Amino acid sequence: MLSEQEKSEIRASYKNAIDPRQHVKILMQLYLVSHEEILDVLGLLSKSARPKPNRKGQPRRIYAPEFKAEAMQRLRSGESFRRVAEDMGVNVRTMATWAYHVRREKKD
């Protein structure tokens, strides 16, 4: 686990890197830590917004409202949930749940 000092140094060097090769070197340093820690180091995940682990210990994926709205719109237009899931990189079961909610909307 990285100390706050190390995280701060990596974050600063990543933000200041101009050459993409420098980004790669920095990300190589981060490769040895967990996904959540990488997000934390890069400042993309605040402590209050950390995803809660599911039953299998993996963090839950949180989708942006715009992303979910796009998926719902595609489902409403008649595309199959499997195709939308594959195109958007979403778990098929998650997309099936969203499709279920779209079908319920249409009934109401």
pLDDT tens per residue across span 40-55 = 766 665 555 555 666 6
For residues 52-60, give the mean pLDDT. 67
Does residue 59 lie within any of the structural domains? no
- Tell me which residue range forms the domain holding 34: 4-47
CA-to-CA distance for 49 and 101, rounded, in angstroms? 25
CA-to-CA distance for 14 and 39, rounded, in angstroms? 12
Per-state percent for the chain, helix, strand, coil, to nearest 5: 65, 0, 35
Does residue 57 lie within any of the structural domains? no
71-100 burial, b at 16+ Cβ within 10 Å, e below that, comes to bbebbeeeeebeebbeeeebeeebbeebbe
Overall pTM > 0.75: no
Q: Please give the residue that has the higher pLDDT: either 37 or 95.
A: 95
Does residue 56 lie within any of the structural domains? no
The neighbour count for residue 17, using CB atoms within 10 Å, is: 14
* Same-domain status, 43 and 73: no
Mapped onto helix, strand or coil, the DSSP state of residue 59 is strand
